[in-house]
Every structure is written in C-alpha cells, then in structure tokens.
C-alpha cells in the first residue's frame, strides 16, 4: 500500500490519475494506493444523483462515476481517494463503505470528536451535523473516489445544494465541533494511521487469510 499526499490539486487531474492507477492495480502492475489531498472549490454529483438537489442554477456541477448525490469539495477539507483491490479483499462493497465510516470515526475520536452513523445513510455525523461524506465507484473491483472530511471549510458552500441529496441536512466541521487542536496536515497524518490500522483487520487480503488458516492448522496438528 502506497500513501501519497497530493497537496492541493484539481478534481479533473486526480480523476485522470485514479483511472490510470486503478487500471494498473487491476492488472497487477500497481500497488494499492491512498491519495490524500485538498481540492480547489468544486461541486460534484454521482452518476445517479438528482439535479433537483442543486439549489443554485448558477453553479457548475461535475457529474462523475461514483455513488451518492451532490456534494462540495474545497479548501479546509481533506479528501481521500483509496484505490484498493476489493477483488483480493472479499468483493463486498457494503463492507467497504462500513470500513470507510469506521476509519473516519476513529480519526475524529483521536481529536476528541464523537462521530457516528446516522439513519442508515452513508457517511459520518457529529453533534452539529454531517461532518464526513462518502461516495465510491468500482472498476474491475478496484475502488475509486472515496471520502472527504470537513476540517475547517467555509460551510456556506453547502447552502447552494442539498448535501448528499438530503434537504435541510445540517453540515458540520472539526472546527465547529471543537475537540483537540487540528490542522489539515495533522488530520492527514491521523487518517493515514487509522486507514492502515484498520484495513487489513477489516478487509484482509486473501493471502493474509490463507496464512492465518495455515498457522491455525499448524497449531492443531502440532
């Protein structure tokens, strides 16, 4: 697993990178990758998203090949694009979504913020509203797109949409929730740690399962 801090980078540039890397992971020429970054302001909407959730017709919204509805990315928000080969990790998209939620909840907890799931809707909520957003796609069982965590963005950007297609959905940030001091750099560091701690525990590769089984059989037979 490689982890890349891409800094501030445009949405279209990272999308092109994801497509190229996902193809390489699927054919075995690339390692799995977690891209962490920040985007200049951009609104995106999933392939099945409803344009009625775009409240301001003056904004430009990019339609992309992920699940979920309309959301916003911009300064003060950390975005993560994990490119993980689910073909070797159980082929369970539902478990992948729950993993991302658990990883984000663990990251928030490290800063003294309580995050939780809410009403069977994908993502993570805190006391004052939705704080982390998830929208994924899969190519040949390699994941694309991923999650974003509001650190200290201008939350007024969400006034122009129904976030995730949820009318009246309150939106929060780590700054609004309080907790320990934080910065985008500190949040990225914690995200890396939470991601790597939980990945092989929650979504082990087949080879890891085989090794555990072999060790178990050795103990039984010895």
Hey, is 91 helix, strand or coil?
A: coil
pLDDT tens across 175-199, in order? Answer: 999 988 889 999 999 999 999 999 9
pLDDT attached to residue 58 = 96
pLDDT attached to residue 207 = 55
pLDDT attached to residue 181 = 84
H or E stretch at 122: strand 121-126
**Of the listed 6, 148, 164, 169, which one is catalytic?**
164
Instruction: Examine the pLDDT at 129 and tell me if it is beyond 90.
Output: yes
Catalytic residue check, 164: yes
DSSP state for residue 161 in the 8-state scheme: B
pLDDT attached to residue 119 = 81
pLDDT attached to residue 219 = 56
Instruction: Examine the pLDDT at 213 and tell me if it is beyond 50.
Output: no
Instruction: Examine the pLDDT at 211 and tell me if it is beyond 80.
Output: no
b/e 98-109 (16+ beta carbons within 10 angstroms → b): ebbbbbbbbbbe
DSSP letters spanning 114-167: --EEETTEEEEEETTEEEEEEEEEEETTEEEEEEEEESS--GGGGGGB-GGG-T
pLDDT attached to residue 222 = 47
pLDDT tens across 45-80, in order? Answer: 999 999 999 999 999 999 999 999 999 999 999 999
Is the pTM value of this prediction over 0.95? no
In degrees, to the nearest 5, what angle opens at C-alpha 43 toward C-alphas 37 and 47? 100
Give the C-alpha separation, 120 to 43, whole Å. 24
Q: How far is CA 33 from the centre of its chain?
A: 13
pLDDT attached to residue 206 = 77
Q: pLDDT: is 219 or 169 the higher one?
A: 169
pLDDT tens across 145-167, in order? Answer: 999 999 999 999 999 999 999 99
Residue 74: how many other CB atoms lie within 10 Å: 17
pLDDT attached to residue 221 = 45
pLDDT tens across 101-127, in order? Answer: 999 999 999 999 999 998 888 999 999
The β-bridge relationship of strands 121-126 and 77-83 is: unpaired
Pick the CATH number of 2-221 from 3.40.50.1980, 3.30.930.10, 3.40.630.40, 3.50.50.60: 3.30.930.10
H or E stretch at 171: none
Q: Where are the alpha helices (DSSP H) in the chain?
A: 11-27, 93-110, 174-177, 184-202, 206-221
* Percent share of the chain, pLDDT over 70: 93
């Amino acid at each position: 697993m490689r982890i890349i801090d891409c800094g501030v980078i445009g949405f279209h540039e990272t999308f092109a990178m994801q497509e190229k890397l996902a193809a390489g992971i699927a054919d075995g020429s690339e390692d799995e990758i977690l891209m962490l970054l920040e985007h200049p302001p951009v609104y995106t909407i999933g392939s099945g998203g409803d344009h009625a959730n775009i409240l301001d017709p003056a904004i430009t919204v990019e339609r992309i090949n992920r699940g979920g509805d309309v959301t916003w990315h911009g300064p003060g928000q950390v975005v993560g694009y994990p490119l993980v080969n689910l073909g070797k990790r159980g082929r369970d998209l539902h478990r992948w979504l729950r993993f991302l939620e658990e990883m984000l909840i663990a990251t928030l907890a490290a800063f003294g913020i309580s995050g939780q799931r809410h009403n069977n809707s994908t993502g993570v909520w805190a006391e004052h509203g939705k704080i982390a957003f998830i929208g994924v796609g899969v190519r040949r069982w390699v994941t694309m797109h991923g999650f974003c965590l509001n650190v200290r963005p201008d939350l007024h950007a969400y006034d122009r949409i129904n976030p995730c297609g949820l009318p009246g959905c309150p939106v929060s940030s780590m700054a609004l929730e309080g907790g320990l001091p934080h910065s985008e750099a500190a949040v990225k560091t914690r995200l890396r740690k939470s991601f790597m701690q939980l990945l092989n525990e929650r979504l082990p590769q087949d080879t890891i399962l085989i090794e555990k089984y072999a060790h178990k059989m050795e103990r039984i037979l010895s």
